[in-house]
Amino acid sequence: MAEPLLEVTDLSVDYLTEASSVRAVDQVNFTVQAGEFLGIVGESGCGKSTLLFGVSQLLSPPGEVAGGSVIFRGRDMVRMSGEELRGLRWRDYSIVMQSAMNALNPMKSIGAQFKDTLEAHGSLSTEEIQHRSAEVLGLVGIDPAHLGSYPHQLSGGMRQRAMIAMALLFTPQLVLMDEPTSALDVVAQRSLMSKIKELQESLGFAVIFVTHDMSVVSRYSDRVLVMYAGQIAEAAPTDDIFRHPLHPYTRGLMEAVPSVRGPRRELVGIPGSPPDLARPPTGCRFHPRCPEVMPVCPSHEPDLIAVGDAEVRCLLYVQQAKQAV
């Protein structure tokens, strides 16, 4: 297999306060190949956004990387100095945040925000800056005249697309996206997603796409990671996850989504609520809500095990793996 673009090993992120320390991301491992579209799915509070910021070294206090490594193109970002990271930022990887209204500086025009990015990483002439800015706007279907507009003057969908355009200024190899479509209505969502996929295929960058909405990734991603309580519960190619979900949590998520075309069936939710990460459940973190819980679950923390093409963190499969061996 080719050298992965991104290799995350045992990454943990803690939130430190005067009184306590909460582990929001617990020893997460995954890789991303060049050009791959990876979806990360989970409920609110499962740590997926924190994971994204942890990987991109964008955590704000009180959040801190507590351990592990993030090897991007052969170099560990966790151990890089501020200056070294700055050199990588935006050129090699960029990020698209959830709400463009909040992520774009309300007091600077779109063009000015593109300009300061371009200026931070090299010296281009004014024409070149103008040209490139107009070019990326064109990629997402926005009239370059809007370079002089301010964020509040654009519609929600346009703002979101402007953010994506900005993320592509240097045609990076990896674009991280934190729920970029959740602020939009369903129609705008669909159009934005297909635009993202189209750009990804034509420009060849890899995408890590964080969302709480399974259906969004089902169509576009190559692989999916399911997160629960700060850990990866299951990781598998998209088709596998949707056709044969392994982890009881993933199954629960699948069963909660009605199929538009399939037969009508009763919707089953997952009882209970996500755990408080300050005091996670003992053993398997999902056991209090698991419909297939076994007596051994509360006392043994499962590791991520390979089952075919997938990886799953569940004791149900430990027996299987043992039997297979």
Partner 1 sequence: MATDAASSTAIAEAPEGADIEVRAEPRRFTRAVLHNRKAMTGAVILLVMVFVALFPGLIAPYDPQAIVGPPNASSSSAHLLGTTQLGQDVLSQLIWGTRLTLWVTLVVSLIATFISMIIGVTAAYIGGFTDRVLTVFTDVFLILPVLPLLILLSAYLKPGVTSLIIVLTITSWAFQARQLRSQGLSVRNRDFLVAARVRGERPLYIILVEIVPTMTSLLAASFLALAVFEVGFAASLQFLGLGNSSELMWGTMLYNAQQAAALESGNALWALAPGGAVALMGAGFALVNYAFDEIGNPALRPMRRRKRRGRASA
Partner 2 sequence: MRYLTRRIGLFLITLWAALTVNFIIPRVMPGNEAVAVLGTLKNINPAALHALEIQFGVNVHQSVLSSYFEYLGNCLTGQFGVTAQGVPVMNEILSKLPWTLGLVGTTTVIAFVIGTVAGIASAWRRGGRLDAILPPTLFIVSTVPVFFVGLLLIYFFAVKLNWLPLGGNYSVGATPSFSLSFIWDVLKHALLPALSLIIVTAGLWVYSMRNNMITTIAEDYVKTARAKGLPNRRIMYDYAARNSILPNLTGFAMQLGYVLGGAIVIEYLFSYPGLGYLFYTASTNHDLPLMEGLFLFYTLAVLVCVLIADLLTAVLDPRTREA
What is the DSSP annotation of 216-275?
HHHHH-SEEEEEETTEEEEEEEHHHHHHS--SHHHHHHHHHSPPSSS---------S-PP
Per-residue binding letters, 28-47, with partner 1 (x by CB under 8 A): -------------xxxxx--
What b/e readout covers 190-219, taking b as 16+ CB neighbours within 10 angstroms?
Answer: eebbebbeebbeeeebbbbbbbbebebbbe
139-158 binders of partner 2 (CB under 8 A): 150, 152-153
Q: Least distance to partner 2 from the beta carbon of 195, Å? A: 20
Q: Is 121 in the site for partner 2 (CB under 8 A)?
A: yes
Query: Out of partner 2, partner 1, none, which partner does residue 32 contact, by CB within 5 to 8 A per kind?
Result: none
**Token representation of residue 273:** 């609520």
Number of residues that bind partner 1 (CB under 8 A): 33
User: What distance in Å separates the CA atoms of residue 82 and residue 35, rounded to the nearest whole number?
Assistant: 27
C-beta closer to partner 2: residue 49 or 238: 49
22-81 binders of partner 2 (CB under 8 A): 56, 58, 60-61
Per-residue binding letters, 75-114, with partner 1 (x by CB under 8 A): ---xxxxxx-------------------------------
Q: How many residues does the chain have?
A: 325
163-222 binders of partner 1 (CB under 8 A): 212-215
Q: Least distance to partner 2 from the beta carbon of 92, Å? A: 10
C-beta closer to partner 2: residue 37 or 170: 170
CB distance 77 to 85 below 8 Å = yes
Where does 122-185 have alpha helices with state H? 126-139, 156-167
CB distance 161 to 142 below 8 Å = yes
Stretch that binds partner 2, among 34-42, 105-113, 243-251, 305-313 (CB under 8 A): 105-113
User: What distance in Å separates the CA atoms of residue 133 and residue 269, rounded to the nearest whole number?
Assistant: 46
242-301 binders of partner 1 (CB under 8 A): 252-254, 256-258, 269-270, 273-274
Residue 6 — φ and ψ, nearest 5°? -135, 130
Query: Out of partner 2, partner 1, none, which partner does residue 31 contact, by CB within 5 to 8 A per kind?
Result: none
C-beta closer to partner 1: residue 168 or 210: 210
CB atoms inside a 10 Å sphere around CB 12 = 17
CB distance 182 to 208 below 8 Å = no
C-beta closer to partner 1: residue 17 or 125: 17
Q: Least distance to partner 2 from the beta carbon of 53, Å? A: 8
Per-residue binding letters, 84-103, with partner 2 (x by CB under 8 A): -xxxxxxx--xx-xxx--xx
Nearest CA-CA partner of 214 in 259, 254, 258, 268: 254
Nearest CA-CA partner of 224 in 3, 6, 7, 42: 42
Q: Which residues bind partner 1 (CB under 8 A)?
A: 16-19, 41-45, 60-62, 64, 78-83, 212-215, 252-254, 256-258, 269-270, 273-274
Residues binding partner 2 (CB under 8 A): 56, 58, 60-61, 85-91, 94-95, 97-99, 102-109, 116-117, 120-121, 150, 152-153, 166
